[in-house]
Amino acid sequence: MMKDIPNLKVKDLAIAIVPRQENDPDEELWDVYILNLRDEPIDSVFINSKGYGELEGEQLKTTTLRHFFERIYGLKTEQIEPIQRKLFGLTNEFWVSFMYKGHMYDKKYVFVKGSIDEMNFTTIPILERKGVMIR
């Protein structure tokens, strides 16, 4: 039975977090984007986001936010949500599910505590801005 279930891996999809003001990593609000790095669209994109961990000696958990995009075209991005700089001290998780060519895919993207930092910046494809990205 297990041989009948396809083992589908998510490829060419990324989550990026970039400062709202280009070249200003001290900006209080940053933006979270989903990037479709494939040439073809993906459909019924559902994203759950949450933050959790210890901050200033206190266990914290943010509200779980849910986002839906009917379609994200190939080589395009969509802004998911803003994120406050003070939440970078938490683990920030984005669980993405979508349909592609009749199959359901899902993947969890986890920005661990302290990873959203200027020392981890890279140039984000499509956006052509500096930020942190998980592919």
Answer CATH for 2-114 from 1.10.10, 1.10.30, 1.10.8, 2.60.40 = 2.60.40
pLDDT bin (cut points 50, 70, 90) of residue 56 is confident
For residues 53 and 87, what is the distance between their CA atoms, to the nearest angstrom? 10
For residues 26 and 71, what is the distance between their CA atoms, to the nearest angstrom? 33
Task: Parse the chain into domains and list their residue ranges.
Answer: 2-114
pLDDT bin (cut points 50, 70, 90) of residue 26 is confident
Question: Structure tokens of 26?
Answer: 């001290």
- Give the up-direction half-sphere exposure of residue 58: CA atoms within 13 A in the CB hemisphere: 4
For residues 45 and 61, what is the distance between their CA atoms, to the nearest angstrom? 24
Please compute the mean of the pLDDT values over residues 58-72 and round it to a whole number. 97
